[in-house]
């Protein structure tokens, strides 16, 4: 249902099977299928050649290289015509709906607000999440752009956002996350950000990391989302990547230091259970608070449970991340390795994570 390469073939089959007949189509027909499995540049060339002769209604967009488009009709059916009862979240870009399709698949559909175009954000999300696959990135399954309406379709995450678990759910359900789970989530977020900075296909600075854009699946594995304002810092001709290996770049960490700083703030939020500091809070005062008032900055439900040393060590990592905003000395890969070592020390986190 969502394999983009098959869908490109299907769209262009109108041309290749003779539904579109002219001189150019005959030239393309001779070599198209044998060349489709080539590099991304070759696919770009093929798409441009085919779009010269395909009717507008079935032309292939740049986005179709990565994911298949769904129709507005399909989305309306899956959300009961965007019934408000199916709304599961909202943000600056739009509303999120729970969508159940006829084949039983449940997905999350983000309906972008009408009053702003969000052209850049929409395209950026597809370029990044349509091309990268990782355990700690939210999977983008599809998109829809019809009648000037834009939709992004993701894998459904049954446990909502990290923000909800840190701030909303404890008040409503009387449940607070234990330290071992908070640490595992922090390690997953660090792993995802480090991979974004150090993979060999498309290096990305997220720039807006927060507990609101960290989704949790049914096993509480964190998934980073919201890439509309991200910065693409390196792109290669490699194919779509789901490889979890890290490649250490030789370039400066400066372009990524906003993510390291943001992760430090998020780590402080995870440890304290308090909402993130306001934008007006300067780096110096944050460092002072972490260094001088450590006991008061730790969620009281976490203390005295046998993990105090780990919590203080994690606070020191948060401090190091926040200082990076000033000196840019720490990379996200170093942060990931440091926080991962805390879990490994008591076999909480697999060495292969």
Give the pLDDT means over successive 10-residue stretches in the chain (353 positions).
47 47 49 48 53 49 71 95 94 92 93 82 91 94 89 95 87 76 96 93 92 96 95 68 57 79 94 75 59 71 91 92 79 95 72 46
In the prediction, which pLDDT does 162 show? 96
Q: Which residues contact 82 (CB under 8 A, 6 or more apart)?
A: 75, 76, 97, 111
In the prediction, which pLDDT does 28 show? 46
**Domains assigned to the chain:** 4-65 (no CATH), 69-155 (3.30.200.20), 162-344 (1.10.510.10)
Confirm if 96 and 108 have CB atoms less than 8 A apart. yes
In the prediction, which pLDDT does 329 show? 75
The Cα–Cα gap between 269 and 83 comes to 34
56-86 burial string, b = 16+ CB within 10 Å, else e? Answer: eebebeebbbbbbbbeeebbeebbeebeeeb
In the prediction, which pLDDT does 250 show? 46
Nearest to 1 by CA among 48, 57, 55, 71: 71
Strand 94-100 and strand 202-205: the pairing is unpaired
The Cα–Cα gap between 161 and 163 comes to 5
Q: Which residues contact 213 (CB under 8 A, 6 or more apart)?
A: 161, 224, 225, 226
Exposed / middle / buried, residue 87 (Cβ in 10 Å: 0-12, 13-18, 19+): middle
In the prediction, which pLDDT does 270 show? 96
Residue 233: phi and psi, rounded to 5, are -105, -20
In the prediction, which pLDDT does 176 show? 83
Residue 140: phi and psi, rounded to 5, are -90, 120
Nearest to 167 by CA among 269, 42, 75, 96: 269
The Cα–Cα gap between 146 and 135 comes to 31
Q: Give this prediction's pTM.
A: 0.78
195-226 burial string, b = 16+ CB within 10 Å, else e? Answer: bbbbbebbbbbbbbbbbbbbbbbeebebbbbb
Residue given tokens 């409503």 in the structure block: 172
Exposed / middle / buried, residue 125 (Cβ in 10 Å: 0-12, 13-18, 19+): buried
């Amino acid at each position: 249902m969502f394999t983009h390469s098959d869908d490109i073939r299907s769209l262009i089959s109108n041309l290749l099977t003779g539904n579109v007949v002219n001189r150019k189509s005959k030239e393309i027909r001779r070599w198209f299928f044998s060349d489709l499995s080539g590099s991304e540049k070759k696919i770009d060339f093929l798409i441009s050649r085919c779009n010269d002769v395909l009717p507008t209604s079935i032309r292939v967009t740049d986005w179709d290289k990565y994911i298949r488009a769904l129709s507005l009709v399909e989305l309306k059916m899956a959300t009961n015509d965007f019934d408000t009862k199916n709304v599961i979240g909202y943000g600056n870009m739009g509303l999120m709906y729970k969508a159940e399709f006829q084949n039983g698949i449940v997905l999350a559909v983000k309906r972008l607000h009408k009053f702003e175009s969000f052209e850049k954000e929409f395209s950026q999300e597809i370029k990044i999440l349509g091309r990268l696959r990782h355990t700690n990135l939210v999977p983008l399954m599809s998109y829809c752009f019809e009648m000037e309406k834009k939709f992004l379709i993701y894998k459904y995450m049954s446990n909502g956002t990290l923000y909800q678990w840190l701030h909303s759910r404890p008040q409503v359900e009387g449940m607070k996350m234990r330290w071992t789970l908070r640490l595992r989530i922090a390690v997953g977020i660090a792993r995802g950000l480090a991979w974004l900075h150090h993979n060999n296909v498309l290096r990305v600075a997220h720039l807006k990391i927060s507990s609101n854009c960290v989704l949790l699946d049914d096993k509480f594995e964190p998934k980073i989302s919201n890439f509309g304002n991200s910065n693409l810092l390196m792109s290669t001709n490699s194919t779509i990547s789901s490889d979890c290996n890290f490649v250490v770049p030789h370039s400066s960490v400066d372009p990524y230091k906003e993510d390291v700083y943001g992760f430090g703030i998020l780590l402080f939020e995870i440890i304290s259970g308090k909402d993130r500091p306001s934008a007006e809070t300067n780096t110096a005062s944050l460092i002072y608070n972490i260094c001088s008032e450590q006991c008061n900055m730790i969620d009281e439900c976490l203390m005295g449970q046998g993990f105090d040393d780990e919590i203080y060590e994690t606070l020191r990592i948060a401090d190091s991340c926040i200082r990076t905003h000033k000196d840019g000395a720490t990379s996200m890969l170093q942060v990931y390795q440091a926080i991962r070592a805390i879990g490994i020390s008591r076999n909480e986190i697999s060495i292969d994570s």
